[in-house]
Amino acid sequence: MGNLLDKFIGIMGFGDDQTDDELAAAEFEEDYEDEEPRFKTNTTRDNFVRESAPRETALRDAKEVRHKSSPVVSIHTQKQVRVMIVEPSSFEETQNIAEHLKSRRAVVVNLEKTDSSITQRIVDFVCGTTYALGGNMQKIGNGIFMFVPNNVDISGETSFKMTDREIIWPKMNH
């Protein structure tokens, strides 16, 4: 009974490969000594029909199944990253910027022409949204900021001259 269970486990591919190969070789030798002739005569003269031994076929099929590999599927598919450029003229437009970030799109916000009384509120709101989504942000120039979701990396540093009309940029590290 144990031998039958060992053979079943070996055929299913859960056993030790070396042990499986040794068992298969020993079983093949036993079958070779005891098996009937592979050629049987048909009712008509000089016609022969070849039949393969059933155990040999089962062993060969089991080895083929064990050595086949499953298909490889790539999990990470690259999507084209879209960058949105926004020049808000009112605080109400920051909701659109937040929607772009939630949709995993990078956003460049140009506040150069925006009224100075609301620029700080816009920067604070979009920085908070970006932080909440696990994204990152970088100041590109005077009044120009880049906000990206967590699937986009920003690399490199920019250098620009500070002016009196400089917007306060919050210091956030990720």
Give the tens place of pLDDT for each residue, 71-94.
666 666 666 778 899 999 999 999
Q: What is the mean pLDDT of the chain?
A: 73
pTM for the full predicted model: 0.48
Quote the pLDDT of residue 172.
Answer: 45
Helices (H), the chain: 2-12, 17-34, 54-67, 94-102, 116-132
Residue type, 143: G
Q: What are the chain's domains?
A: 2-67 (no CATH), 74-174 (3.30.110.150)
pLDDT for the residue numbered 82: 81
Condensed to tens digits (0 to 9), the pLDDT of residues 99-135 reads 999 999 999 999 999 998 899 999 999 999 999 999 9
CB 31 within 8 A of CB 3: no
